[in-house]
Amino acid sequence: MNKVYSLFVFLVLVSCAGNQSEKKSEATKAKSPASEKSAVTKSESEKSSSNKIVPESEMIAFEGGTFMMGSDTGLPQETPAHKVTVKPFSIDKSPVTVAQFKIFIETTGHKTEAERFGDSGVFNLEIKNWELMKGAFWRKPFGPNGPEAIDTHPVVHVSWNDALAYVKWAGKRLPTEAEWEFAARSGKNSGEKFSWGNEISVDGKYFANTWQGTLESPEILDGHPYTCPVGTFGENAAGLTDMGGNVWQWCSDNYKAYPGSTAPIREDASVKTIRSGSFFFDQYGEDSFSVSGRSMNSHETSLFNTGFRCAKDGK
């Protein structure tokens, strides 16, 4: 699959959110026996080991457990809700930042696919369309004439292949889609729509970096037109940040229909799952950044609203 086709897939298959799309209040938090057993156990700090320089990254550990993944009331690609068991694992507290990715690049000399292709996907708000912008890559997310990427923001313009190179170098891996959703739900079967509760905002306070308004009339009610520093909107009950909005995040899985689903999804090893939604407009609106929201992109596609976080097996 070449880069042009990748962008076509992104534009046609899902939505304007990067070919992607696919949902803190004081809402009631229902619990189940499974959720009681599968709570977070601890947080840990990943530091350099061996002789390589690995950026420090706090991780949140989960004991694992069984939960209901997906939704019976969501988008076709999210249905049906089905029982899934995950083994113990740890996942990064926040998406990989520009500063962390910079260490990887400087240490390994890795060239991202955006750099090798010479362009990457950016939505042009003036013409209201996606374009393969020449010279856009992780360090210059809006092209050579745009500002430098900010160290505290999540790194973007990384393909699944780039993310895989990073996690292997760091001695970790990409989270599975089930692990990502389990973590977004804080290891509980609470039934809440979002990682932080059931409301996008309360009294003007937003709980994630998401799109407001329309493409024709954007609004910046949450204070951030594009990415924002990781952790800006706080943590979920498990202590994780950015588990909804800010940037889409790569998972390890091929994108495929759930067991028993009637969604017309054909599994393709070159098309990978993405989770979280982003700061950018998505045709599915709030469903894109729900805990069960899911979408996909080709493994070599990079966009200005897609990043990743790391995971690793538990003990």
Amino acid at 79: T
Average pLDDT, the chain: 87
Of 28-32, 247-251, 271-275, 306-310, minimum mean pLDDT range: 28-32
Cα separation, 306 vs 248, whole angstroms: 5
Q: Is the pLDDT of residue 237 over 60?
A: yes
Residue 299: CB partners within 8 Å, gap ≥ 6? 1, 159, 160, 161, 270, 271, 272
Question: For residue 137, what pLDDT is reported?
Answer: 98
Q: What is the pLDDT confidence band of residue 98, given thresholds at 50, 70 and 90?
A: very high
Question: For residue 55, what pLDDT is reported?
Answer: 83
Question: For residue 232, what pLDDT is reported?
Answer: 98
Q: Measure CA of the first residue to CA of the last residue in the chain; give whole Å.
A: 38
Question: For residue 190, what pLDDT is reported?
Answer: 83
Number of neighbours of residue 220 by Cβ within 10 angstroms: 12
Q: What is the pLDDT confidence band of residue 53, given thresholds at 50, 70 and 90?
A: confident
pLDDT tens track for 145-185: 999 999 999 999 999 999 999 999 999 999 999 999 999 99
Q: What is the pLDDT confidence band of residue 86, given thresholds at 50, 70 and 90?
A: very high
C-alpha dist (Å) from residue 47 to 55, 80, 245: 7, 40, 27
Q: What is the pLDDT confidence band of residue 113, given thresholds at 50, 70 and 90?
A: very high
pLDDT tens track for 269-313: 999 999 999 999 999 999 999 999 999 999 999 999 999 999 999
pLDDT tens track for 115-150: 999 999 999 989 999 999 999 999 999 999 999 999
Q: Is the pLDDT of residue 200 over 90?
A: yes
* Percent of the chain residues past pLDDT 70, beyond the cut: 83
Q: Is the pLDDT of residue 59 over 90?
A: yes
Written as six digits, the tokens of 119 are 């362009």
Q: What is the pLDDT confidence band of residue 40, given thresholds at 50, 70 and 90?
A: low
Question: For residue 30, what pLDDT is reported?
Answer: 31
Cα separation, 181 vs 271, whole angstroms: 19
Question: For residue 288, what pLDDT is reported?
Answer: 96
Q: Is the pLDDT of residue 106 over 60?
A: yes
**What domains lie within the chain, and their CATH numbers?**
3-313 (3.90.1580.10)
Average pLDDT on 243-248 reads 98
Q: Is the pLDDT of residue 45 over 90?
A: no
Written as six digits, the tokens of 118 are 């010479």
Q: What is the pLDDT confidence band of residue 52, given thresholds at 50, 70 and 90?
A: low
* 130/27: higher pLDDT: 130
